Chains A and B, each alone.
Chain A
Amino acid sequence: MSWDRSHGEGTEVLLMGNEAIARGALEAGVHVASGYPGTPSSEIIETLARFAEPGRLYVEWSTNEKVAMEVAAAASFAGLRSLCVMKQNGVNVASDFLLHLSGSGTRGGMVLVTCDDPGALSSVNEGESRHFARLLEIPLLEPGDFQEAKEMTRWAFSLSEEIRNVVMVRSVTRMSHASGNVVLGPLPEASGKARFLCDGAVSDPERGPMTSAPVIRKHLLQQEKLGKAAAIFEGSPFNGYSGPERPELLLITSSACRLYSREAVSLLEVEERVGLLNLGTTWPIPPGLLKKRLAAAEKVLIVEEVLPFIEDQVKIFAAGEAREIGIKTFYGKYDGTLPMVGELNPDFVAAAIGRILGVDLPSLPTEYRELLRGLEGILPRREQTFCPGCPHRATFWLIREALQRDGRGGFVCGDIGCYAMASLFPAAGFGTSKTLHAMGSGTGLASGFGKFGPFGMRQPALAVCGDSTFYHAAIPALINAVHQRADMTFLVLDNCGTAMTGFQPHPGIAVNAMGETTPMVDIAGLCRSLGVPVETADPFSLRETGETLNRLMENPGVKVLILQQPCALSPEKKGKKRYLVEVDAVRCLGDACGCNRLCTRIFRCPGLLWNREKKKAEIDEVICAGCGVCAGICPAEAIRCAEGGAS
């Protein structure tokens, strides 16, 4: 089911959108690929890492997206082809460099792939990277199916070399994590020669230094490059039109919405009335193509996710051309035809077209709808929670206990990783984690909160961050807190890998993306170099570690507590039990205890069951991971651990 070099030209395989993008880069002869893990983008770098080979393809997980982009740009400057991959908010991180890179231009083909997450299926934002293409004046491509994801990525390298600037390819979760048939193309026998030619004049694009200055001249050049891209886009096979020459309704769409739109037209059986303009090149939209299609329709519906990016461009263009193409009626985000937030689907689009054309979708029979009503309220919600044996559950439990003992109303500034669930679902974090923003922001917020004592603030501020997040973005905020003498307790939840996105290595792991052994950057040593107290503890030792936390919180200034315990799903732990955990049915007093079912109702590990008949707690042996932490929370000491649980 997976593919490798043996799958030659012409083979048709089932590829995930992300695999298709990776394949496109390989078919383009990519030499360097870099990125930072983030759903839904991670499989692209993971796939490429399987093909890494010295002198042919170098792949790295960088410390963050800005560094990843700098590494990829260096490859381009040295004449190599490079790919840089990230999720939508990664582009924000990289955007400062990208602003300058788009001014300096590139040499070897350089492609930036961003995977956006409309509907925030696995994000805490639904930020859009498309706007960066317009803001930074670089071309934007959006694949609308799996084959196109491959072809477009491959072609993006040529386009980049033709205009000498970085090209952005934007995918979305429903493309990246969907799969479909892809016919493979040939893999070139490319090997790269790297040399940075830099002995020429500033004005020499081939041999001069790479910089965005002199700014005005370079900015003008950048806009000429974009104009060249628009001219190339006019004849691009990635834009297509299907439908009548003079449609009653022109639908303009791109990306996954193209598939929703096709489906909606088919559901409503309005193929004779609706024209579909599918755009693969969405910035800049080629003006000739747009003018031709707008001239042939009076009503125009724009279908896209999430914000009105294409709609803005189309309306601005139509205003300028109104004398020639006439006045149009527009439907889209601004008039509420389609929602301005969340992801779309075929039903949203069908409803929108149906309203405009006065066509109804056939609905389910009344009898069936009656039966469906019978399901209301009987299906229990499946809440997300930390896995059985997850170190984070223990961590937030001991934080809860420490904050209660402390009694000053302290709180946790949360961060991005699995432990974000502590902020997203209060029950998972036992009500301790109160903020959640960008990677590293918990540390920066705590640095701020830690300075408000003179304003009467007595609440101790705690910040948590994972090991990968520590390297990514927490270090500058930590240095700030130290330098500003902020009062803050900084907890690193070190679970030995980028757990949430699939255990990608980071600088604290002695291996890189390609499986080579690499030097480790020690978190504790790095923190100690800042001259602040640093302690390391095991979150599974609830009492001891909780007391350590209380002691640290009492002191002023920055204190660092590193909590080390590998993720329960990590390869070294998965399927192995440290303890055989049991509930002593005599000691467990159940509802008579007065603990109010502390273990099942508050601690909420999925391995703990409440037996309704016996009215006592039990361990579900199949689900229990054998961490033994729950033994430390039972006031009756009814939960017992025996060494050496079965694997």
Chain B
Amino acid sequence: MTGTLEKDPYNIVITGVGGQGNVMASRVLSSMLVRRGFRVTIGETFGMSQRGGSVMSHIRVSSEGVWSPQIPKGRADLVVGLEPIEALRVLADYGNSAVVVLVNIRPTYPVGVITGEAEYPDPETIRRAVTGLSADARFLDSTREAIRLGNSILGNIVMIGAVAGLRILPVDRELFDSVIREGMPADRVEANLRAFDIGVKSVSERGGPAETSGDID
């Protein structure tokens, strides 16, 4: 095993909306951790999820064994939200005062909001709620960064880069490179590496957690 965990098991939730590459993100991050020698359990809910529903992956990282594919309530250590209200939904069930949260601020509106029947909370409310419910909250527009790279689906990899940039988990670019090369056609590797780098930069450029907590751009 190379690297250590802050906690064992270390509990990660990656959440978003069907089609955002949630499952892919959880697989990539977990494969990196398996290569570091950890035992990883991923619990996923998909099936109907590609039809616009919420998607959630629970990742348990441990040096000793297999843990439940469902994280106990209130026990997330890191929440990666590919969509803002999905991040809040996860905090409502799995949040606690020590949790670290990464949020892509770009909303994907539910049908009820599109049709004008329901309200989507404004960015300020979301920012305040996420910040209040976490020890360290980082906000980034990974969708915008991914579109700049030519494909909005790369937003999930920007977020994985951001996870690496936080330096909570023993994962880095070299490891990402080897995992992504194995799972992907060669012509797409470069764009994924660039997305990863943007993610790393977006959380490390602005210094320590205290300064960036609650920062929204």
With contacts A263-B67, A346-B72 taken as known, whether A380 is within 8 angstroms of B112 at the C-beta atoms is yes
CB closest residue in chain B, given A345? B70
Binary interface encoding of chain A residues 168-181 relative to chain B, with 1 for a CB under 8 A from any of its CBs, else 0: 00000111011111
Binary interface encoding of chain B residues 63-94 relative to chain A, with 1 for a CB under 8 A from any of its CBs, else 0: 00011111111100000000001101101100
In the complex, are the beta carbons of B110 and A383 less than 8 A apart? yes
Is A58 interfacial (CB-CB < 8 Å)? no
With contacts A178-B43, A378-B121, A383-B112 taken as known, whether A569 is within 8 angstroms of B72 at the C-beta atoms is no
Chain B residues with CB under 8 Å of A404's CB are: none
Binary interface encoding of chain B residues 83-116 relative to chain A, with 1 for a CB under 8 A from any of its CBs, else 0: 0011011011001110000000000001111111
Is A365 interfacial (CB-CB < 8 Å)? yes
Is B2 interfacial (CB-CB < 8 Å)? no
CB closest residue in chain B, given A17? B69
* Cα(A278)–Cα(B158), bound, Å: 41
In the complex, are the beta carbons of B47 and A600 less than 8 A apart? no
Is A606 interfacial (CB-CB < 8 Å)? yes
Chain B contact-residue range equals: 35 or more
Give A451 Cβ to nearest chain B Cβ, in Å. 34
**Contact stretch, chosen from A25-33, A88-96, A384-392, A636-644:** A384-392
* Cα(A193)–Cα(B194), bound, Å: 52
* Cα(A213)–Cα(B128), bound, Å: 72
Give A139 Cβ to nearest chain B Cβ, in Å. 24
Q: Which of A14, A175, A382, A620 contacts B54 (CB 8 A)?
A: A382
Binary interface encoding of chain B residues 26-47 relative to chain A, with 1 for a CB under 8 A from any of its CBs, else 0: 0110110010000111111111
Is B51 interfacial (CB-CB < 8 Å)? yes
In the complex, are the beta carbons of B42 and A418 less than 8 A apart? no
In the complex, are the beta carbons of B125 and A180 less than 8 A apart? no
Is A259 interfacial (CB-CB < 8 Å)? yes
Chain A residues with CB under 8 Å of B116's CB are: 597, 600-601, 610, 612
In the complex, are the beta carbons of B96 and A364 less than 8 A apart? yes
In the complex, are the beta carbons of B118 and A381 less than 8 A apart? yes
Q: Which of A179, A382, A601 contacts B110 (CB 8 A)?
A: A382
Number of interface residues of A (CB under 8 A): 62
* Cα(A504)–Cα(B32), bound, Å: 30
In the complex, are the beta carbons of B115 and A604 less than 8 A apart? yes
In the complex, are the beta carbons of A378 and B110 less than 8 A apart? no
In the complex, are the beta carbons of B31 and A256 less than 8 A apart? no
Chain B residues with CB under 8 Å of A386's CB are: 51
* Cα(A445)–Cα(B37), bound, Å: 55
In the complex, are the beta carbons of A368 and B97 less than 8 A apart? yes
In the complex, are the beta carbons of A350 and B72 less than 8 A apart? yes
Chain B residues with CB under 8 Å of A13's CB are: 34
Give A556 Cβ to nearest chain B Cβ, in Å. 37
Q: Which of A147, A177, A600 contacts B44 (CB 8 A)?
A: A177
* Cα(A600)–Cα(B31), bound, Å: 42
Is A108 interfacial (CB-CB < 8 Å)? no
Chain A residues with CB under 8 Å of B71's CB are: 346
Is B48 interfacial (CB-CB < 8 Å)? yes
Is A226 interfacial (CB-CB < 8 Å)? no
Is A371 interfacial (CB-CB < 8 Å)? yes
In the complex, are the beta carbons of B97 and A365 less than 8 A apart? yes
Is B182 interfacial (CB-CB < 8 Å)? yes
CB closest residue in chain B, given A611? B116
With contacts A267-B72, A375-B129, A569-B50 taken as known, whether A178 is within 8 angstroms of B110 at the C-beta atoms is no
Is B52 interfacial (CB-CB < 8 Å)? yes
Give A322 Cβ to nearest chain B Cβ, in Å. 34
| Chain A residues in the interface with B (C-beta under 8 A) | 1-2, 12-14, 39-40, 121-122, 145-147, 173-175, 177-181, 256, 259-260, 262-263, 267, 345-347, 350, 363-365, 368, 371-372, 374-375, 378-387, 418, 421, 569, 597, 600-601, 604, 606, 608-610, 612, 620, 622
**10 A-B contacts (beta carbon < 8 Å):** A1-B28, A121-B45, A256-B68, A259-B67, A263-B67, A380-B110, A380-B113, A380-B118, A380-B120, A601-B115
| Chain B residues in the interface with A (C-beta under 8 A) | 17, 27-28, 30-31, 34, 39-48, 50-54, 66-74, 85-86, 88-89, 91-92, 95-97, 110-121, 125, 129, 132-133, 152, 179, 182-183
